[in-house]
Amino acid sequence: MPKIFTSYFESPIGPIKLTTSEDAVLSAEFIDESQTSDSELPAIALNLQKQLNQYFEGNLLEFDLKLDPQGTDFQKRVWQELTNIPFGKNASYMDMAIKLGDPKVIRAAASANGKNPISIIIPCHRVIGKDGSLTGYAGGLHRKKWLLDHENRLANGVLELF
């Protein structure tokens, strides 16, 4: 079984628990309180922290990390589709279902979106309601709003539908 490394990142909107293997990001999840990071971390964990720092500082628009989220094949298809939503733009759950090839999978796509284990890097926060409303976000709606506002400011414009 591969070794798992855990570290914590202090973001402007709360601590994020980061989990990696030797060479890939496994999860990035908002938590209530940080704990102590593992004493030795692989290069991928340090690179993840560096890129998150650059993102929050407004100096990074696209992450370049090897990702290995654990989930069903359908969930992985949804998460892969999320990575196609450009920085500063958004999509509706219906848009996601259509991109997945079947408008009837909207509920399944929304469920998979909510189970995304790698927040921010797999940008599930960019998915909103068809009417433009901010719908659920595992990290809390206040964080989703902050992330969308942050990206909107950096993109220098109004969020557009993808």
Return the residue matching tokens 């469920």: 111
Name the active-site residue from 124, 127, 147, 148. 124
**Burial of 158: CB neighbours in 10 Å, binned 0-12, 13-18, 19+:** exposed
Spatial distance between the Cα atoms of 16 and 27, rounded to a whole number of angstroms: 10
Among the CATH numbers 3.30.450.20, 1.10.150.120, 1.10.3720.10, 1.10.10.10, which is that of 73-161?
1.10.10.10
Q: How many CB atoms lie within 10 A of CB 70?
A: 10
124 tagged catalytic: yes
Q: What are the residue ranges spanned by the domains of the chain?
A: 5-57, 73-161
The per-residue pLDDT string of the chain (162 residues; one tens digit each, 9 = 90 and over) reads 789 999 999 999 999 999 999 999 999 999 999 899 999 999 999 999 999 999 999 999 999 999 999 999 999 999 999 999 999 899 999 999 999 998 898 999 999 999 999 999 999 999 998 888 888 788 889 999 999 999 988 886 554 444
Closest by alpha carbon to 126, among 95, 155, 76, 85?
85
| pTM exceeds cut of 0.85 | yes
